[in-house]
Each structure stands twice: as structure tokens, then as C-alpha cells.
Amino acid sequence: MEFYFKKKKFPKIEDSGRATFRIKGEGASLTLTYNVQQVTGDTAPRILEGHADFYIADMSIEFDKDTLKHDVLVPAITKLFKSTIKKKIEAAVESNLKTFMAKLGSLMSNSIVQVNRPLLTGLDVARKNIKASELSQIYQKRREKLE
């Protein structure tokens, strides 16, 4: 990746070049979590909001020293700020996934409704058939006599 940075505070430094980021060790993990709610009377659960957690176990940054002005200083300073860089990458990935999470939640909610629709229609038909059956009418007449 091509980069450029300028540090205005001590030690003042400005440089640009190419760097390679490698995720090492256990790699990285991404966890997508949703809040699901189903209120009494709802035909299907609703997915309200999602949250993304991105974690990088270990990361290395290698510089193409031919492209740097400060081929010793930049890698040395980067080692000091490696954890800050890693946290900023994690935060950027989580932030970029917010829009995707909302769209995915909406698609999953719609899919649940579509899958449940034939089942719910079948249950309504079965309920009406049971109420219209002879056995149900006999039960209803006995119940009325007891009251």
C-alpha cells in the first residue's frame, strides 16, 4: 500500500513510500451480533440492530526501504505506534461495516417473514377448519350448556 504521513510535533518527520501489512499468528476475527426481538402478536421476529467486532491477533508492517526518505527512522517509529495502528484499522473495519450490518439485518428480517408466511397461512386455515368441524361444534354446544 502507498502511504504518506507528516508528523508536526517533535520529532517532526515527513515521509512517503510503500508498506506491506501482514496479519500473522491467529489471524483476525470478525463477529457480527444482532439484537432480535419478537413481541407477542408479531408473526416473525425482528432484527433491530447489529454490531461488528473486528480483532487482529498480530500484525506486521514491512516497508520497501527503497521508497523511503528515512529508511531507518520510519520503521523504528512504526514499531512504537504498531498497537495504535492496529486499533485504528480495527475501528475503521467496524465503522465501515455499520451500513452493511443494517442492510443485512433488513434482508434477514424479510427472509424470516417470507419463510414463515406459508406456515402461518397454513395454521390459519387449520384453525378455521377445526372451528368449522363437527367435533368443535359439539364441544361449543356442551360448553354453552355448562355456562
- How many structural domains comprise the chain? 1
Whether 122 is in a domain gets the answer no
Residue range 24-49: mean pLDDT, rounded: 81
d(CA 53, CA 94): 6
Could you list the residue range(s) of the whole structural domain that residue 89 is in? 2-106
Task: Please give the pLDDT value at position 99.
Answer: 80
Task: Please give the pLDDT value at position 140.
Answer: 73
Whether 140 is in a domain gets the answer no
With 0.75 as the threshold, say if the pTM is over it.
no
Instruction: Report the range of poorest mean pLDDT among 27-31, 46-50, 53-57, 112-116.
Output: 112-116
Whether 83 is in a domain gets the answer yes
Whether 112 is in a domain gets the answer no
Whether pLDDT at 124 is above 70:
no
Decide: 19 and 64 in contact? Cβ < 8 Å: yes
Decide: 112 and 45 in contact? Cβ < 8 Å: yes
Whether 111 is in a domain gets the answer no
